[in-house]
Amino acid sequence: MGEVQVPADALWLAQTQRAVENFPISGRGLEPAHIKALALIKGRPHR
């Protein structure tokens, strides 16, 4: 699939970054409450 650049402060990894770049549907990001909920469910990835 090749390399992909993920922002250093991102709470996601390469697969999600590819989706963000490949499917810019609305131009809107996730709501902060949604991001917090996902972080609680999944836990912050360790790098």
pLDDT tens digits for range 1-47? 789 999 899 888 999 999 888 887 777 777 889 888 888 888 766 55
Show the domain range for 25: 1-47
**Spatial CA neighbour of 29 closest among 13, 5, 10:** 10
Q: What is the pLDDT of residue 13?
A: 92
- C-alpha of 45 from chain center: 11
Number of domains in the chain: 1
